[in-house]
Structure 1
Amino acid sequence: MKTVSEYSQRNILIIPQSLYDMSDIQQLMYDGNSGVFYKDLKQDLVDVEFYTNIPCVVYIESGQETITTSDNKTHELPARTAIFLPQGLNLHSDYVKVTENLKAYLIFFTDDVLTDFISAKKTNELNKGDQPELLKIQCDSLIEVYFSSLQLLKKKICNSPALVRIKLLEFLHLLSLYDERIFQAAFQSSKTSNSPKRNLTRLLNNSDILKLTISDLANLSGRSNSTFTRDFKAIYDIAPKQWLQNKRLDRAYEQLTNTELTVTHVAADLGYENVSHFIKSFKEKYNITPKQLKQSN
């Protein structure tokens, strides 16, 4: 079994499904994909990309975690904070240890549980007001008592489907005491199937993407070509094609200066099918050919 750190270095963490195989994630109670998991991280864990396959609430017991959306909005989660994550989102998690371990609970709700919870509200009350993409709720000792009860049930090996359902509904109703918008968040999540947009800044910070086409990048980011171009320009204020060429040429300059790679090898490594085109673009940017740069070092 792998740790979260080992798995997330090369994979997007699909939650909750991926959590069942993590050596540093404890399963407190579950029935299918509904249930409660507990993590206790002792070391820094940054830039973990994950996808919410079903709606989830993260509750921070100690430490602090930062959640970043595909639009690069950050949500700081200190201790005693809960956040509702709808289904179908690509997000990033960052934890840097300052004094305490990051101890957190992850609570997952299938449609039938959310439907039961939503039924406590009238439909016309659920369509009023704007709803944030991620609903953050500040909690207190009442929620701590709730999770203490789950830890005791774990020791008693109590995991019947009926009890799991009751405890999940109890948790949602407790959250509603702090913020009634949890009903609206659950309602919207049950109606919406979001496309899994990925965070562009973090995606494009990986050097492996330099050999891809713009269409490849758009698909990888969970966007159409037009949406990708629009979102990209909003962040970088430059066309994706020009940005990609600049990045490729910067990387080529670095490789030609600091490695023994040939001009042909560098061109191929960065996705140039035509070496002549690479040489022409390189000279236009640096006023020197790749071969001349190589010979000068």
Structure 2
Amino acid sequence: MKTIYEHTQSNVLVIPQALFAMKDVAVLCHHRNSAIFYKCLEQDLVNIEFYTNTPCFIFIEHGKEVITNTNNGTLELSAGAAVFLPQGLNLQSDFVKETDALRAYLVFFDDDVLHDYLSKVKGPFVCDERNETFFIPDGDDEFAAFFASIRAEITTPAYLNIKLQELLHLIAWRDKQHIFNALLATRKRIPAKQNLARMLQTLDVLHLSVSDLAHLCGRSLSSFNRDFKESYQMTPKKWLQEKKLSRAKDLLADNELSVTQVAMAMGYDNVSAFIKAFKLKYGVTPKQIKPHK
């Protein structure tokens, strides 16, 4: 298991998926792509690239973090500040420790949670192009109180869904510019076309889907599948599965993570599906790979 610093020396940090296997991040609640994390960074992190694979809300409890978008727009978040980041953004984060460690909550919203929320609020949703990347709601006291109310010992999906609905309504209530709901409904934008081989070498590909890779490479799904098969003589879906199972085998051999933790770290929502795929590939179950102490 690595720290965020160690992981990002050679990988783009794909959130939330990569966070499950980070030493300096605690999982408070989790179901499917919805999750609430608490991170505590003691080490300086500069020029850290990350990709929002799921809409994300960040609340800074202590310390200061600077986020930069692809247009070099910057956002400085100090203690009590919050930001909502839509899905599909490539961003850069900088944290330099001055007096406090960086302690922050990160919340991610599954599509089902967002659909449930949007079905209860009024449209139409029109997004101002100038506000596509960041949305900064006021209300540090309200958000601090919300996170203080989280009961991490309650792990049912229903409880997590209720808390996420509460948070979404709270953010919208603090939205003076009326852009938050529009950002939730915004689809991922296609970036400029990128070199396929280079992107696959630098990205944390194990935490991305085929559609995510196509988006980041600036291709439609059909052209990405075609270009990928031409270069690698297999489908991207098959290539990703092979990479994930190989990495899972290494993680299990290290004996630091449980089978469930490895499955989540590799992006499997269903542990049984992970066990089945692993046994089909290696002829043994994940549990049989773990060394005995």
TM-score bracket, normalised by the shorter chain, equals: 0.5 to 0.7
Give the TM-score taking structure 1 as reference length: 0.62
CA drift of 1:196 comes to 5.4
d(CA) in 1 for partners of 2:163, 2:191: 29
d(CA) in 2 for partners of 1:165, 1:131: 31
- The answer on whether the counterparts of 1:89 and 1:195 sit within 8 Å (CA) in structure 2 is no
- The answer on whether the counterparts of 1:58 and 1:82 sit within 8 Å (CA) in structure 2 is yes
Provide structure 2 residue ranges, at least 5 long, that are not aligned to the other structure. 199-213, 220-293
- The answer on whether the counterparts of 1:80 and 1:138 sit within 8 Å (CA) in structure 2 is no
CA drift of 1:164 comes to 0.6
1:167 matches 2:166: no
Provide structure 1 residue ranges, at least 5 long, that are not aligned to the other structure. 204-218, 225-297
Cα root mean square deviation, aligned: 2.5
- The answer on whether the counterparts of 1:70 and 1:197 sit within 8 Å (CA) in structure 2 is no
d(CA) in 1 for partners of 2:180, 2:154: 27
d(CA) in 2 for partners of 1:75, 1:141: 20
Q: Report the CA distance shift for 1:195/1:161 in structure 2 as closer, same or farther (over 3 A).
A: same
Matched AA of 2:110: T
State the match for 2:174 in structure 1. Answer: 178
State the match for 1:48 in structure 2. Answer: 48
State the match for 2:189 in structure 1. Answer: 194
Matched AA of 2:174: Y
d(CA) in 1 for partners of 2:20, 2:41: 16
- The answer on whether the counterparts of 2:52 and 2:90 sit within 8 Å (CA) in structure 1 is yes
Q: Report the CA distance shift for 1:129/1:193 in structure 2 as closer, same or farther (over 3 A).
A: closer
CA drift of 1:140 comes to 2.1
Please give the per-residue CA displacement for 1:208-253, whole angstroms capped at 9, x wherever unaligned: xxxxxxxxxxx9x8458xxxxxxxxxxxxxxxxxxxxxxxxxxxxx
Q: Report the CA distance shift for 1:72/1:193 in structure 2 as closer, same or farther (over 3 A).
A: same
d(CA) in 2 for partners of 1:26, 1:47: 23
Name which one, 1 or 2, has greater alpha-carbon Rg: 1
**Secondary structure, counterpart of 2:103 in structure 1:** strand
Identical counterparts, % of pairs: 43
* Higher normalized contact order (CA 8 Å, seq sep 6+, divided by chain length): 2
CA drift of 1:195 comes to 3.0
**Secondary structure, counterpart of 1:171 in structure 2:** helix
Q: Which runs of 4+ in 1 moved over 6 A?
A: none
CA drift of 1:138 comes to 2.7
d(CA) in 2 for partners of 1:197, 1:6: 29
Greater percentage in helix: 1
State the match for 2:24 in structure 1. Answer: 24
- The answer on whether the counterparts of 2:126 and 2:179 sit within 8 Å (CA) in structure 1 is no
Aligned residues: 198
1:114 matches 2:114: yes
- The answer on whether the counterparts of 1:114 and 1:186 sit within 8 Å (CA) in structure 2 is yes
State the match for 1:127 in structure 2. Answer: 126
Give the TM-score taking structure 2 as reference length: 0.63
